[in-house]
Amino acid sequence: MMLAATLVFLVIKPVTFFISGIYRITWRYVGIRDLFNLIKASFVAQLIIFILLLLNRMYDPQYLPVEFHTFIQYLKGFPRSVLGIDFVLSFVMLAGFRLSKRLYYEILVKTEYSDFVNKAIIVGAGNTGEMILRDMSKHRSLGIVPVAFVDDDIIKTGAYIHGVKVIGRISELKDAVITYGATAVIIAIPSLNFKDLRKIYDVARDTQVKTIKIVPRIYDFQRPNISMKSIEEISIEDLIGRQVIEVDFHEIRGFLENKVILVTGAGGSIGSELSKQICAFDPSLLVLFDIDETELHNLQLKLAYLFPCMENRLRFVVGDLRDEKRLEATLKAHPPHTVFHAAAYKHVPMMESNEGEAVKVNIFGTYSLARFAVKYEVEKFVLISTDKAVRPTSVMGATKRIAEYICMAFNDTGATRFVSVRFGNVLGSRGSVLPIFLEQLRRGGPLTVTHEEVTRFFMTVQEAVSLVIQAAVIGTGGDILVLDMGKPVKIIELAGELIKIHGFKPYEDIDIKIVGMRPGEKIFEETLTSREESNASRHKSIFIAKGDDKYDLRKIEEIIETFTSINLDAIEGDMVKQLLRRYVTHYTNL
């Protein structure tokens, strides 16, 4: 009986394990999912053997060849309890062998804390912190060893995660660093706002911590991949403008999943971030349109790294908004469900002396794209606008205000719903104040500010784009949606904070110099005109601007014809400014 049963087990179990992929498990990285698959394979094998034994009891072997009769007789009376015993012993031994290599490297092999090893405190004992800890354990060669967690969840205090203790709250970070002699702090809470992040950063700096890193934004929500290779240095943008933004991922997924999406200006700060966040929601096709082939190439490399699964669903189109044939060919070849129109000339002082170019891109480009969106039955058109379009004092702001007029006018002409989204300054975008300040710091100062009282609204590009996508979902036809950017920040205070973050003293080590207002600049920005009022939307950080300041499509066409009739290539753009004053309410050129 024992010999016959052994032959049955040796045939059925290896075949079942092979089909289930048990022999393809990598021992060094075996995990819970692998152990669960091992349980399933063992159970299936035992079930097959049990059924065979049951059939052996029920049926007469006289119909089988004579050679099998003796073999089958040996199996008569085989004790079924052996199946249970075999299941347990097989699982323990198979799992033990497969876990042995991981146990050896991650537990039995002790890493001595030498002078060249960074002892790390992990801030945040949640799922992200646990992923970071597991990756540290696998890659000891990186020279960072976890020694403790800190977390504000009192329930976790005193608990151990993979052998590392949660020693207290985040406010006890300073004591933890001193007690353990930590030289690195890893911040594993992606949702921290800039105030809490700044407190952690200041404590770490005060205790002479050499390495301060943070987990990056998670773009692929279905397959979050946090590892030591992905953590990054804390950026200045995070310390100054990072906010906790909550969006409805389920609603956004329904808006973007399996849809064709077009993003213009995809190589810019807003456009590239839009592209990354849209990829996370599995569009059927993402068309990326930009005039700058270098930035499109850079974006292609980033998306290939972040979203390898999107490789065959991305189209990179080099083109100019002013080229109507190229624009129409793009929409005809890939008719989109949604258009995010981020392409524009945005730099205020530069457009003050290049008025005609601002008209060509911000007005003519928007008009052409809107016209083709209606022609090719785009479901929703989202214009990325700016708070500088409110009571504009610059050519850039006035042309963007006309772009808003264009969207409102086209909204009444067909099935396409047009939505404009206004927001303020994005930290770290090209040409914004932060990169300018950082370059001035590298040169040893001074940091230049145009006026003592000048203020601006600030938000990091990631949070701003998250709200733009949420606003696109919320917005109905003809809406102008305004993002809540928080409280305005004085630029002179921002300069001072930036100097302190870099370990210098304002006015002593690095000076701050007032240089006077630039052409087209305002001391403070607004999000609503005097003729608009705001209504709450379904999202606490998004408001709907309501007002009667708009044109119909016939008037828009008249405006386009008027601008077309003048010489937009002239170096002196006085005629452009005159026309802008005629058509844009409240526009006063400073």
Residues 404, 421 contacting (CB under 8 angstroms) = no
Q: Residue 314: which H helix or E strand, with range?
A: strand 314-318
Omega of the bond prior to 446 within 30 degrees of 0, cis?
Answer: yes
Residues 83, 54 contacting (CB under 8 angstroms) = no
Taking alpha carbons only, the member of 141, 140, 168 closest to residue 152 is 168
C-alpha angle 434/219/215, rounded to 5°?
65
C-alpha angle 486/587/520, rounded to 5°?
70
If DSSP states are collapsed to H, E and C, what string results for 87-124?
HHHHHHHHHHHHHHHHHHHHHHCCCCCCCCCEEEEEEC
pLDDT value, residue 335: 95
What CA–CA distance (Å, rounded) separates 473 from 538? Answer: 10
Q: Which residues pair with 263 in a beta bridge?
A: 288, 340
What CA–CA distance (Å, rounded) separates 341 from 319? Answer: 14
Residues 394, 388 contacting (CB under 8 angstroms) = yes
Which residue type is seen at 91?
A: F
Residue 291, SS3?
A: coil
CB neighbour list of residue 5: distance below 8 Å, 6 or more residues apart: 74, 75, 78, 82
What are all long-range contacts of 222-225, with beta carbons under 8 Å and residues at least 24 apart?
Answer: 222/280, 222/282, 224/131
CB neighbour list of residue 290: distance below 8 Å, 6 or more residues apart: 264, 265, 266, 267, 268, 271, 296, 317, 318, 319, 343
Given the residues 13, 259, 380, 388, select the one marked as catalytic.
Answer: 388
Q: Residue 211: which H helix or E strand, with range?
A: strand 211-214
pLDDT 10s digit of each residue in the chain, 590 long? 777 778 888 888 888 888 888 877 766 667 777 888 888 888 988 888 888 777 666 655 555 555 555 556 656 667 778 888 888 998 888 888 877 877 776 666 655 544 546 788 999 888 888 888 888 777 665 677 888 999 988 888 888 887 788 998 998 999 999 988 888 898 888 777 777 888 888 888 888 888 888 887 654 455 555 666 667 777 776 776 666 677 888 899 999 999 999 999 999 989 999 999 999 899 999 999 999 999 999 999 999 988 998 989 999 999 999 999 999 999 999 999 999 999 999 888 899 889 999 999 999 999 999 999 999 999 999 999 998 888 888 999 999 999 999 999 999 887 899 999 988 877 766 667 778 888 888 888 899 998 888 888 777 888 889 999 999 999 888 888 988 777 778 888 888 888 887 778 888 888 999 988 877 777 877 666 555 566 777 787 888 887 667 889 999 999 999 999 998 888 777 889 999 999 998 887 65
Chain centroid offset of residue 439 CA: 26
Strand 232-233, strand 211-214: pairing = antiparallel
Taking alpha carbons only, the member of 417, 409, 346, 412 closest to residue 377 is 417
Residues 486, 455 contacting (CB under 8 angstroms) = no
Taking alpha carbons only, the member of 480, 514, 473, 481 closest to residue 495 is 514
pLDDT value, residue 516: 87
What CA–CA distance (Å, rounded) separates 542 from 475? Answer: 10
The predicted-structure confidence for 417-430, as pLDDT tens digits, reads as follows 999 998 887 776 66
Residue given tokens 């985040």 in the structure block: 170
Residue 496, SS3?
A: helix
pLDDT value, residue 406: 95
Residue given tokens 């790294």 in the structure block: 305
pLDDT value, residue 75: 62
pLDDT value, residue 524: 73
What CA–CA distance (Å, rounded) separates 548 from 551? Answer: 9
What CA–CA distance (Å, rounded) separates 156 from 169? Answer: 9
By CB atoms closer than 10 A (0-12, 13-18, 19+), residue 516 is exposed
The DSSP line for 112-179 is P--TTSEEEEEE--SHHHHHHHHHHHH-GGGSEEEEEEE-S-GGGTT-EETTEEEEE-GGGHHHHHHH
Residues 549, 531 contacting (CB under 8 angstroms) = yes
What CA–CA distance (Å, rounded) separates 342 from 268? Answer: 8
pLDDT value, residue 220: 46
What CA–CA distance (Å, rounded) separates 179 from 191? Answer: 27
pLDDT value, residue 528: 63
Residue 138 annotated as catalytic: no
What CA–CA distance (Å, rounded) separates 17 from 503? Answer: 60
CB neighbour list of residue 569: distance below 8 Å, 6 or more residues apart: 356
pLDDT value, residue 225: 59
DSSP state of 526: -
Both structure tokens of 152: 């504000």
Taking alpha carbons only, the member of 126, 171, 129, 120 closest to residue 148 is 120
Taking alpha carbons only, the member of 147, 87, 153 closest to residue 118 is 147
CB neighbour list of residue 431: distance below 8 Å, 6 or more residues apart: 346, 347
Rounded to 10 degrees, the C-alpha dihedral 122/128/131/136 comes to -30
For 394-447, where are the alpha helices, taking DSSP H only? 395-410, 433-442
165 conformational bin, left if phi > 0, alpha if psi -120 to 50, beta if neither = beta
CB half-sphere exposure, 412, CA atoms < 13 A: 10
